Structure 1
Amino acid sequence: IGVICPYRSQLRLIDEDPFIADQKQSGLEVSTIDRFQGRDKDAVVLSFVRSNSQGKAGRLLDDFRRLNVAVSRAKKKLILIGSFSTLSKGSSVMRPVLEGIKHRSGVESLPPNALQIEI
């Protein structure tokens, strides 16, 4: 499994999680989009970070080549995690991708208290 994120600061936060550290010994790879270029995994989780009411997704998420690398690393399963609203408003590259996923009923919404739920 691979976890891809656009920003190094997010990568550092993910790496600090003890669960992630344990999973890395079993082959989990956590990296930025740029560092993942040329590699692939059976399953990839792509974490987009940005969520805001202004729909500002950031320049990195409006770069076709970078996003092409990100979404093409999965051999079997690709899971996108992010704010549908922010990404569809703030990224002209992601908008058609997200609309296609939504059209195929591939969008799941989390409950408002999702961050407080203990697993």
Structure 2
Amino acid sequence: MNEEKETCQITQETTAGNIEELSIQKNESIRSNIEQLTIELGEQKEFNHFILDEKQKAIITLSALITKGDSDEELKTHFEQALHIGLSVIEIMEIIKHCTKVAGFPHSINALFIFQNLLDHNTK
């Protein structure tokens, strides 16, 4: 039993050491990316070098807007875009549900009403 604890502890120390070593090696790359992002934000350039696909970006945007609250029109627009790029109704409902844990019930129920109104309007 004690041997297991020692092995686990050594693994954790080694892992922590590797992470520290990696972070030192990658520091210049991260700094370069932050500098590039700062320049692009200042120049209001379009970001087109992300690794994320359109669905992933939509999930992040919806999550941010739901959590932010008080962004009804933006949320409606992004719900429409999310459906257009292929997110399902079930996936969007799961995003809203998940945001309840982070944003709280009022923000999530508001998002749910906005989404439901959009769906009702599109089915007429």
Asked if TM exceeds 0.5, the reply is: no
Q: Which has the higher contact order (CA 8 A, sep 6+)?
A: 1
Larger C-alpha radius of gyration, 1 or 2? Answer: 2
TM-score normalised by length of structure 2: 0.28
Q: Which of the pair is proportionally richer in strand?
A: 1
